[in-house]
Structure 1
Amino acid sequence: MRAPAVSASLGALAGAAIGFYPGQLPRGALVAGVLVAVCVGLGTFAGLLVARFVGGGSARARRWALGIVAGSFGMLAAGAAWWQHSLRDALDVAGAGPDWAFVAGLPAAAVFAVIALWPRLVAWALALIGTVVVGYVSPGLAAAQPQGTNTPDVAALYGSLDSDRSIEQRARDVVANWVADGGLTRSAVVIAVPTGSGWIDTSAVNGFRMRFGKDLPILGLQYAAVSSWRAFVSDRDAAGRAAIALVAEVDAAMHNIERAHRPKLVLYGQSLGAIGADAARVWASEHGVEVAQTIEVGVPGDSVPFRATGRTVLANASDPVPRWSPTLLWRPARMTDDTQVIGRRGHHVPWLPVVSFIQTSVDLLGALNVPAGDGHRYGVEQATGTR
């Protein structure tokens, strides 16, 4: 059996280099295996197309290319396992060893063999890759989102979805409950904009109550019941509308109170909720509503103005959410100029066009499978709005 075309081997090696390029977060061997297999498959297929125009090379050149690719592939797999081990060691979790490299590399080797050595099976192999990606990665995207509302012990101050009532009506009810509970006599009030699923981070709630007192009222208004990424795609402005409705009602409730005696109004949002908090901040500024502080945590990349006043933006150093954006395909991630980087500082991974976009996209799958201070997990420190 002839060795594959030189360009096919080189294409596979390029795909392996892309698939094994370091990410910022730990990932399972199966996730890595799917990614590398897809990259190797596409690289091999591209190499076969090139071979149709420039030829496959002599038998000797083919063998040399195959040998170089095999050795380089092993080195890439070992290097990726070492990188994963270092990430896990920093988190004090079980490391990655030779078994990780084997599981991560085996699917890619199989795909390369099928496509390069049996070109007639290329269509079958690509269909298999697509099935694996859709069947394995799609549930992973959903799993990467906080599930359920998980609202803290503020049920009376949380407006759940109600198809029979408008956002304004539900906001009015939440604020009425806040006033009835003596909210106007408290030192502060926090409007927490939920994520797309209606989730409010309990760590943030605990942090705010450590900062302002256990009786701190926290107001929330649900605007969707799906994962944040789905809500972002379908209606990214919904979070802002819900936050603005609450701010408007709170301001109306405090209208007859002297400014010096009003509760401090703090806006808070995480992930998609941060976009809503920023929209409410802008609205408040335009309508003369005094906001003591706006805290935006883990803001999705390129989703809020790059420069602004009166806000604090927090992002974990390893959080892929603030870095991910289609623009990552052609330029490095650009966070807002007021972003404070918090959490564990890991090794810096250089940006590469396309490659960094792929790796950051895969990091999203495991962004919540880490302790607070890493990935898209934040602790009580987010409530202070400072380092």
Structure 2
Amino acid sequence: MAKLSARGAAFLRAHLIHLICALALASLALTPSLVPRPTVFQGVMAGLWFMVGFQLGFAVRAAVRALARRLSGRWPRSMAGPDAPADSTRGGREGRSPLRAGGLAAAIGVGLFIYVMGYGALVVSWQNEVRELVEMEPVDGPGHAAFLVSMATTMLLVFGIAKAITALRDAVGRWVARRGGSARRTRWASRTTAVAAVLALVLGLIGGGLGVVGRIYQDRDAGTLEGSSPPVLPGRSGGPGSAADWDGLGRQGRAFTGGGPSAAHIAQVTGTSAEEPVRAYAGLSQGADMQARAELVVEELERHGGFDREVLLVATPTGSGWLEPQAIAALEYLYAGDTAAASMQYSVQPSWVSFLFDPELPQNSSQALFDAVHARWQALPEAERPRLVVYGLSLGALGMSGSFESLEDLLARTDAALFTGPPATSEPWRTLQANRDPGSPVWQPIYRDGERVRWQSKPGDFAAPEGSWREPRLGYLQHATDPITWLDPAVIYRSPEWLSGPADSGGRGADVSDSMRWIPGVTFMHLVADMLVSEAVPPSHGHNFGDVAVDGWAQVLPGHERSQAQLDEIQSVIEGIDTHDPTWE
């Protein structure tokens, strides 16, 4: 027992810095963020950062040792590794009794246990606070178990990878040494092997992961969502009289043209007569380039009477071609189907892949489509033109809004615009936010008294600014807890305005936890992680905007003449629409 205690004490002394680094990084990974995370996901993050911190301990220990040697010329035995020479005057192995070693190990172990248990309770309270703010149930016992299992599994996996790299490094070192290599050359070969193995692993995971993602989304694009079937009524791409082949529309294009309300259902919900809405779409394979696809969409609009409708919507989808069904259907219900919606696909990849590797792609596609539609629209007699409106969600908002030179250009060429969950790099959103009226918060800005542009998080926010809202109008739907909107690289080194103080003093949105603090670098990583689960929250929070689509269009594009009772009926229908889990679209 004494021997085991001595070994335990030696291990803790040798790896104390590693454990401190590991616990520090795992602790930071568990601090509150904008949206709650599924327990398994949180466990994976905690386990990953624990092991990264443990490996970081090697570099920290080497740096501390080098600094201590420079300052004193000697290294304290208590901080040295197992290879350091024994020094009885410093409490080396010969000068430390088994009882004392066991006591040290027990003390450190008890300290770590108290820390883990105490911090664990704090983490649970943080997560449940965040969950309560976004109207989710608290984490229960099975949730805690899932967190621990996923964390332990991740740690074991990373540990196994680290051991394999270490074994490879040592094997190369021995091979060089057996062939007469000097100690310096042996160390160089070992370290080079370890670095090369890590780089190969990282690059392999990235390259292989992207390759897998590409294959998955190619296969997904070829498939058809459950519930989507070729249109049997005219007015839809892929249906009767369409020049766009149903199979070529892509998965999300087929969901768009094969879904949505019929005239009969619109009439049933609103109690008024209705027309069959027009939906025009071009898939990625339906044209040699963007211009060809845009021309096909214009042909589809002309063929199905899209330019004869009261409202003509040009919408930019997310990376895979997905269009939020609530937003499109809400406009169709409001205007009794006297609408035409036009869009086209620019990628089969999810939004994050499109944004990382070709950030200008959605903007170029948006501009090609809008310019083609606008040119045909402008050729009509002014009195016969439909009301031309634009829309985009997330990456679609970035693309469509970026296809205009300025706010003035957007307002001059459209009759209304609605952008949902705009990314932090969007323009003119970014400029408008920076130049908002003094005293208005960054998550609910007011720009020039709301004369042309307004923001909304929940129904009714558009009406908050005093004064008239002149047409044409631009509306932004954004939430204080949407990580996609607040993911700005400046957050790495600068505290953001949306975390400037507690919620009750106006320093953050009402649904942002007061326990969330800006931590250099860490907060940015929190936002990156939050993006992956930003849709997995109820409406009115995160990146979920299904509950504000009806009010958004009703305010941005007045003239629908719907009563409050009709708006309530439409809202209840919109809330029941299946979005087919758009998290990865």
* TM-score range relative to shorter protein: 0.7 to 0.9
Residue 37 of structure 2 corresponds to residue 27 of structure 1:
yes
Deviations 1:264-311 (A, max 9, x none): 211111111111111233389659962122222112222434215864
More contact order relative to length (CA 8 Å, sep ≥ 6)? 1
Q: How far did residue 172 of structure 1 move?
A: 1.9
The answer (yes or no) to whether the contact 1:115–1:122 under 8 Å persists in 2 is no
The answer (yes or no) to whether the contact 2:397–2:419 under 8 Å persists in 1 is yes
Q: Which residue of 1 aligns with 2:478?
A: 315
Residue 126 of structure 2 corresponds to residue 83 of structure 1:
yes
Of the structure 1 ranges 27-36 and 179-188, higher mean CA displacement relative to structure 2 is found in: 179-188
Q: Which residue of 2 aligns with 1:46?
A: 56
Q: Secondary structure at the match of 2:484?
A: coil
Distance 1:114 1:180 in 2: 57
Q: Which residue of 1 aligns with 2:225?
A: none
Residue 373 of structure 2 corresponds to residue 367 of structure 1:
no
TM-score (norm 1): 0.79
Deviations 1:337-358 (A, max 9, x none): xxxxxx9834242221111122
Deviations 1:193-237 (A, max 9, x none): 011100000011122223333221111111111101111122222
Q: How far did residue 61 of structure 1 move?
A: 6.2
Q: Which residue of 1 aligns with 2:352?
A: 229
Q: How far did residue 82 of structure 1 move?
A: 2.6
The answer (yes or no) to whether the contact 1:82–1:96 under 8 Å persists in 2 is no
Q: Which residue of 2 aligns with 1:339?
A: none
Q: Which residue of 1 aligns with 2:295?
A: 172
Distance 2:322 2:104 in 1: 58
Letter in 2 for 1:12: A
Q: Which residue of 2 aligns with 1:17?
A: 27
What are the equivalent positions in structure 2 for 1:265-344 lying under 5 Å apart? 265-282=388-405, 290-305=413-428, 306-308=430-432, 311-333=474-496
Residue 46 of structure 2 corresponds to residue 36 of structure 1:
yes
Deviations 1:350-374 (A, max 9, x none): 2211111222222122122223322
Letter in 1 for 2:323: I
Distance 1:238 1:122 in 2: 39
Letter in 2 for 1:181: H
Distance 1:120 1:159 in 2: 51
Letter in 1 for 2:305: G
Distance 2:154 2:298 in 1: 59
Residue 212 of structure 2 corresponds to residue 206 of structure 1:
no
Gaps of 5+ in 1: 336-342
Distance 1:110 1:45, change over 3 A: farther
Distance 1:302 1:61 in 2: 53
The root-mean-square deviation of aligned C-alpha atoms, in Å, is 4.0
Distance 2:348 2:156 in 1: 44
The answer (yes or no) to whether the contact 2:279–2:341 under 8 Å persists in 1 is no
Length, aligned pairs only: 370
TM-score (norm 2): 0.55
The answer (yes or no) to whether the contact 2:136–2:537 under 8 Å persists in 1 is no
What are the equivalent positions in structure 2 for 1:252-267 lying under 5 Å apart? 252-259=375-382, 261-267=384-390
Q: Secondary structure at the match of 1:375?
A: coil
Distance 2:136 2:353 in 1: 31
Q: Secondary structure at the match of 1:158?
A: strand
Distance 1:359 1:286, change over 3 A: closer
